[in-house]
Every structure is written in C-alpha cells, then in structure tokens.
Structure 1
C-alpha cells in the first residue's frame, strides 16, 4: 500500500455467508475510511442486512476477513464491536418493551456508563441536541414506532463511536427531522467518525453520502459517487431494470362515501399517549386519502379506533361508519366482514407472527376467504392462497412454509399487503406501507394500491413519507397533537404547506369531502 493511500478504518475482503437455499453474501469487498459517509444500497434481500450483522458481530461469515484499522480480527459478538467503537441502529428495533428508555440505553452501554437514573440527564441532553427528544423514564411499550427509532439512534450517539451503522434511520422522521439528523451525521464525520448509511430514499443518499457500494443478489454490482448520479441511475444499479420506477399516478375523485369519521374524540388514559380531538374524515370508494404526521401525534390511536382494536361504547357507534353503517363499537373481525382490510405499522409482531410460516400468517386474517370449513382448516387452500400472494406480489422467499421473520423487511411488507389486497376489501387502511423497503418493492406496492383504488376500493394511507403521499394520494391531510387538518386535493397543495400542518399550523373549521 502506498504511503499516500489512507488506511481504511474498516475493510471487508471476500465476505461470504451461506444459508440453506441461498448465498446471502458472495465475496463482498468493502472499504470505509475515517470520516467517510458511505452508502450501502440494494434491493430488499440483496444481502445488506446480513453484511451489517457480520460487521457488528451478530453473524459470523463462512469465508473472508474483517480488518479494523488494518488489523485482521474476528468480530465475535456485538459486545466486541461496541468495545471497538462500532454502533448500529437496526431496522427492526432491539429494545426491551417492559423497560424504560433509560434502562434500555443503560443495558446497551454497560455498567461503566452508570445506572439508568444516572444516564437520564445525558439522554435528555443528547436527544434534545439531535432534535429527537426523549423522556428517559417512559416504558418502551408506550412509545410509537418513531419514538422507538429515536431511542435506537440516541443509544448509539451517546457512545464514543468510530463507526456508526444506520439502517433506514430516517424512515420515521419528517423532512425537517431528517435534515437535523444529517447535520449531526456531517458533524460526526467531520470529527472523524465513519458512517455506513443504508437507505432506500435515494435523494437522501445523494445529498449525504460521499461514496456508495451497491449490492444485487448478494454480490457487489458496482460502486459510485451518489452526488454524481440521478435517482434513476442509482435505481438502475440496484434493480437492473428501472422500468416503471418513474411512474406518475393520475389523481382521481372518489365515488360514493365509504369511510366516514364524524367528530371523533377519544381520551387516551396512557399519560404518554395522544388523545384525539374532533377528528373529521371522509374516504370515498375509488380514492386514496393520505394522512401525514410526525410519529406520536395520534397515528397509533386513530389506527386502533379505525381497525377495531380499540372499539368505542355502543352509544358512540355513529362516530365511525362504513357505507353508512355504524361500526365504532364493533371488533376487528366484524369490521372485516364489512369489507375492512388492515396493514399495521409494525410488520413483525403486529402484521405477522415472526416464528410462524407465511401460510399460517396468511390464515390469520384471511380465514374468512374459504380457508376454514366447520371449524377445520383447509390446509391445501391455505398453502395455495399463500403461494398466490408470493407469486402475484413477487415475494422473495424459498416457499410458503418459510418463517415470516426470515424474510427481508420489504418482502414481508409485500406479503402482508398482498394478503390484505387479495381479500378484495372495500376499505384498506395501510400504515407506513413502504417503510424501509427498496425502490423496486415500493414501486410494486404503489402499483398494487393504485390498482386496488382503480378497482373501486376506498384506501386510507397513514405515512410519514411526504414524497410517497404526494405520489399516490388523491387527497391529503396531517395529524398534529391528536387533531386532523382539513383534507386538500393533492394537486392543490404542496409539501411545504403539509409540513406546516404537521407542525399544527392549520384550521379545522372546514373539511373538504
């Protein structure tokens, strides 16, 4: 090596990892310099998560070597990685739900960092400084998805790290919060911290990262300087065929009113939750309505009330109606019989049971589709239904008996969405439908939603991705502190205005229907 060539902080040479039926990583080479922000790009299932787990010591490679500051080592476990100064934020959270924020962070940092109580002031200070305020004494199970993501990020930022690995860190942040995070990451890089950044938001990659390695099918398919590429050029490197990635979906006006929410107020007894105030919402058959909002502003509560997970007393049944029929007092299965399908925000644990097979997960919500007769499961029909989901929605999996937790995030999301769409719902409610999925999977999901809309379904999408909402929605509004803004035609507003609504700057006196 030339004396003028800087020594890479992290080098991977020939990293290979095999699983039954597939090679997740195939001879991967990767260099990351001190102070470099390096992107790792690829479709869901391309091998990114496996590679990150190898770097962090969660998984051991079958072949290849890891060099840290030029020295070859075996990354035995995450504890060793953290000792070296490597921190990682996983796409799927690794938090104990029955412990507080401070207790989770204390566990990750070890005894030398102090007790949870001793860490609380620093957690408040660090989280506030980075624009991700946290209450250290809150139990994790009471946090929204966005707030849990903040815990993961802050937990790493509190450590003296030399390499920070971020897997989809902005998926639950507003554009403003993402900008604040990028300011922090650039400052960390200027101080010498290396950052390995995984994101499917190509605009973010182009704005933030100095270099990128692209994986396809478990192999390195190319390297590039993101700032010198367009989004479409990056997408082509990731998926090969970029056909349909620039689709512009036509905006439409809905037909008959299907979902009607009338002056819905709900007091949340959880002191850390959000109460809803006078929610007025209409969704018509044949349209997609989008609701934007920063995590923790009432999304979880309105989803629970609409899905039936949180029914209201019968005297308030009229607060929510399907095609004029009061449903606010009904449980989820009764609402499903009236045409509801539901895609929750949390894929693993809520949308799917992690250790159950895909076929069993298909049965969980689709049992009314002729899959059960006289209390007996028709196993062959269940498997056939799951296989049809896999085929129609291009889910990458060995077969229908594969455990849900073994799928990549994007493929599991396609399976859950496909399971709901194939029940031909009259109303589909989808939370964060493309959270953490690659550009190809997001395009496929958007096409499926548009096709369902064009078939006459009413669709409500709750998301924190403004780009997504403006791309697929016909009307849009925003939640802030439990209040819903006026709904506007998407073509008659813009992200800046919706961003103001997300901050609570709106008037709810009139609602467009």
Structure 2
C-alpha cells in the first residue's frame, strides 16, 4: 500500500500511509483506536475507497470496489465479531454465499476437510455452530476465507475473546498458514502477543505510518511509545480499599433457560464498597445472563438481588439505573450507543429522567450538550465536535464516552462488562484509571473480562463462572493466567462436584 489517504468530513482518517507486507509472513498492525487501522483494512478489503494512493498485490496494481473484488485477488478478512449462523452446521456456514465453488454436498465437505487438515484447523464440517466454543468458531471463520481461496488473511483483534490456551492454538494455526506460504495481517492491541507471533510490525499513529520494526529489536514498552508516546500501562491497583459494607448482594440466583436447562444456577455473590470483583469465564458460560439479571433485563427464576438493603430483583432497568447502578455493556454498539445519533444525545441515553438531562418533565438539551462537552474534555474523547454521530468515533473513544456518561451519575455500583475489549493501550489505560478511581471513591465494581491480566491486575477477588455456576474463587496476588484458564475450562476439576449439571450456558 502506498500513499493511502482517506478523508471524512472533519477528519483525515489515513494520511499518506505506506507499508509493504512480505509473502508468507505474519505482519502485525498496531496503533491506538482512531489511529486509522480499521479504515486502512476496510480499504484493503474493498469496503471503502481511498481518496489517494495505490494497492499492489503480487506486483500488480489492483482497484478494489467491494469485498468481492478483494476475494477475487486473494484477500480475506476475519472480523472481531464473528459472522456465523448458530442454527447452521460448519459446512453450511462455510459454503453460504460460495455455493458455486464446490456445491453444497460431498465435494464441499471434502474440500473443507482438506483445508482443515492442511492448516491444522481441526474443524468437523457436520458440527452445529451453536455447539462450538469461541476458539472453534474463530477457526470456522478462518476456514470460510480459505475456502474462498484467500492467500492474504486479515485478522481483526483475533485474540480478544480467547483464553490463553486458545490463543496458543490460534498462533499454532497462524504458523501453519505461514508455513504454507499464506500471508497474515494481524491487527491487535495486545503488544506481548504481537511480539510473539509477528515477523514484522507496522505502527500507525494519528492516521499515518510512523515505523515498521522487527519484533526481535523492540519490546512492548518501545512499541507503546511508538503508538501513543508514553509507557505501556499496567492494570495494577494500590493498597486494598475494600470495606465491610456490602453494596450489592446476589443470593441463590437461578435463571432457567429452554429445554429444562439453567443459564445460571445457585449464584451467590457479594460486592463490597471499594471492591472490584472480577468474573472470569469462557464466553457463553453465563456472564451475559448474570449481567442481565443484575441490570433488570431478566428476572431471576429463583433468588434475590439486593442493592444495599433494598431488594431490586423485580425492578426494571430504568429503576435500577436511577437507584445507582452504572452499566458499561459488553456490546457498545447494540446496548451502549445509538450509532446514528450525535454524541450529546448519546450522553442522555439511559439517563433520560436524571439531571442534567432533564428540566422538569422535559429534556434539557442545552444542559445535556454542555455536560457532553465536559465529558469529552474530562475523559479525553477525541472528536471534532459533540454533534458528530457516535458511529463516527473509534471504538476506544466510543467506550470512553460510555464510561464518562455512566460515571457522571455517581453510581454506587458499576457493572463493567468487557470494558476494554477492542480498545488500544491509550484508551485501555484511561479506562483502567477510571476503574481504579471508582474503587478508590468507594464504588463496588463488578468486572467481567476476557483479558485475564486485566482481571488479575484490577480485581480484589476473582470468581470463575463455568456452565452458569460460580465454581472457584482466587486471590489475584496468588494466581496466574494459566491457573484461571484451567479453572475456566474445568481442566482443574473445579466443576467435578456437579457431574450431572444440566446448566446450558456453556457452548
């Protein structure tokens, strides 16, 4: 890619970007959210057109008007959020939209098995996607692009939802791909992973390339300095601030699912003022349902939820928010923002009945706009104005807007679900600081995260959720990521006491 420039109203997303990728290598792309990585990859995958610059593949200049054009020249992309149909098999997901290649029957099955074996993907074409774990689903996504003939793979934040053991398996797959002459573009904010798997690393800052480096010659601290001009942050907390006062208590929470299965079973949980309680678990084991019960999106089948001494088990979402529970949702696009609405309207979202958003019975637009300006400044939300849409912001800036909004209402409890997922080291550091500040000010924080180092660094206690049960409790000062990974998958035997468990949260 040479001289790539892309302009949007009020912002230059890419400015004269230039870098080369060697065939048969893993080439990492690093940079803060908003640095221009996503725009650049959308240009390479044909989703967007550059205003200036050229793309050359195997010595030939190409003009990419759509993803179909990219696929024709051998470029495939695996997005951070998987695009699979749960009710279809692996084979059906892979061939969907590519039926002309090998049909939908025996020939397709043979080709899928061949690719799976050749690249060490270990995927059964007849498995139902609904029954697959996160790591297997990711391999299906990789299989989809290989099936379409991709020789250049773009992987967007591929380790964001994986436990350490799955990360190692993914890296093994990448080495297989590389050994077969395929090229991988690896987008990540996890610098230790980038250093361990990449052959070359290109750093983008504020829309332009600042360096391409050999991972053997740099460390994570130096990469962070290239990215953000500061040292690599660490998720550490100071001395304990935990008090005896319980700000939230869950007792015997059970949530029934379909077909006689439970999504949550007998969950007991106390959160004290000044305490960060971390929840570790493989995605799909009940974390989302636990949050939904706490926030009033689902009423528990059995058990009670208390905010202080008040039973809020049958309260609605608005009542729970007004009572002092802040919420950073797992999926900011679906549950945290109105992407087509301006920032100042998003500042009101979820707090339509609270100051400064209302005056009497009416929305106070003037006050809401003024407070949005304050949030943008105080929480370093990088935006040309409060009148641009939330969808125009980078992921990290969207997340900082949400955190600023929730913290502005002085909550007693903060429910933070994957608060740093898909954000860069700069935004990550800001969010860690805010969680530390909340803890210091006496809030109780429930932190759900797939980033085990984040959990270990920020939490006062860590609980593991497996198949809808809290199966283990760990002291962050005396636990490793590998210990947590083993407990999360049941490999440590912590779930053996429930051999006939009918919980259906795990996939």
Is this a same-fold pair by TM over 0.5?
yes
Structure 2 CA distance for aligned equivalents of residues 436 and 252 of structure 1: 28
Pair 1:309-2:297 in alignment: yes
In structure 2, C-alpha distance between the alignment counterparts of 1:425 and 1:369, rounded to whole Å: 12
Say whether 1:347 aligns with 2:320: no
Distance 1:115 1:388, change over 3 A: farther
5+ residue gaps, structure 1, are 1-11
Counterpart in 1 of 2:480?
494
Return the alpha-carbon distance in structure 1 between the equivalents of residues 348 and 69 of structure 2: 42
Q: The residue matched to 1:356 in structure 2 has which SS?
A: coil
Secondary structure of 2:335's counterpart equals: coil
Distance (whole Å) between structure 1 residues aligned to residue 230 and residue 272 of structure 2: 35
Alignment of 1:60-459 (within 5 A): 60-93=49-82, 105-115=94-104, 130=121, 137=128, 152-242=141-231, 245-246=233-234, 248-255=236-243, 256-269=245-258, 275-312=263-300, 316=302, 319-370=304-355, 371-459=357-445
Q: Determine helix, strand or coil for the equivalent of 2:410.
A: coil
Cα distance in 1 for residues equivalent to 2:271 and 2:251: 12
The CA deviation string for residues 297-348 of structure 1, in whole angstroms up to 9 with x for no partner, is: 11121111111111236xx4x5211112211211111111221111111111
Question: SS at 1:349's partner residue?
Answer: helix
Q: Distance in 1 between matches of 2:437 and 2:92?
A: 46
- Residue in structure 1 matched with residue 505 of structure 2 by the alignment: none
Identify if the C-alpha distance between structure 1 residues 185 and 296 changes in structure 2 by more than 3 Å, giving closer, same or farther: same
CA distance in 2 between partners of 1:98 and 1:359 (Å): 39
Unaligned runs of at least 5 residues, structure 2: 498-507
* Offset at residue 240 of structure 1 (A): 1.3
Shift of 1:456: 0.6
Q: CA deviation at 1:23?
A: 1.3
Distance 1:297 1:190, change over 3 A: same
2:36 alignment partner in structure 1: 47
Q: How many residues align?
A: 491
Displacement after TM superposition at 1:284 (Å): 0.6
- The offset of 1:250, in angstroms, is 1.7
- Mark the CA change 1:497 to 1:402 in structure 2 (over 3 Å): closer, same or farther: same
> RMSD of the TM alignment (CA)?
2.9
CA distance in 1, matches of 2:390, 2:133: 22
* 1:108–1:354 distance in 2 versus 1, CA, 3 Å: farther
Instruction: Quote the Cα distance in structure 2 between the aligned partners of 1:377 and 1:144.
Output: 44
Corresponding residue for 1:4? none
CA contact (8 A) 2:241 2:274 kept: yes
Preserved CA contact (<8 Å) 1:200 1:437: yes
The aligned residue for residue 20 of structure 1 is 9
2:504 aligned partner: none
The 1:401–1:225 alpha-carbon spacing in structure 2 relative to 1, beyond 3 Å, is same
User: In the superposition, relative to structure 1, how do residues 382 and 270 fare at CA in structure 2: closer, same or farther (>3 Å)?
Assistant: farther
2:72 & 2:59 partners in 1: Cα distance?
17
**How far apart, in 1, do the equivalents of 2:399 and 2:387 lie?**
17
Q: CA deviation at 1:483?
A: 1.4
Indicate conservation of the 8 Å contact 2:31/2:203, yes or no: yes
Q: CA deviation at 1:153?
A: 3.9
1:210 CA displacement: 0.7
Task: Flag the 1:252–1:300 CA change in 2: closer, same or farther, 3 A.
Answer: same
Distance verdict in 2 for CA 1:351–1:108, change over 3 Å = farther
> Which of structures 1 and 2 has the larger relative contact order (alpha carbons within 8 angstroms, sep 6+)?
2
| Alignment deviations for residues 344-394 of structure 1 (CA, whole Å, 9 cap, x no partner) | 111112111221222112211122332123432111112122222211111
1:109, distance to aligned residue in structure 2 (A): 3.3
The DSSP-based 3-state class of the residue aligned with 2:428 is helix
The 1-side partners of 2:23 and 2:77 are apart by 16
The verdict on how the C-alpha distance between 1:430 and 1:460 changes in structure 2, with shifts beyond 3 A counting, is: same
Contact kept, 8 Å, 2:85 with 2:129, in 1: the verdict is no
Q: Which moved more, 1:296-305 or 1:103-112?
A: 103-112
Q: 1:25–1:437: structure 2 CA closer, same or farther, 3 Å change rule?
A: same
Counterparts in 2 of 1:353 and 1:283: CA distance versus 1, 3 Å: same
With normalisation by structure 1, the TM-score equals 0.88
The separation in 2 between residues aligned to 1:24 and 1:474, in whole angstroms, is: 40
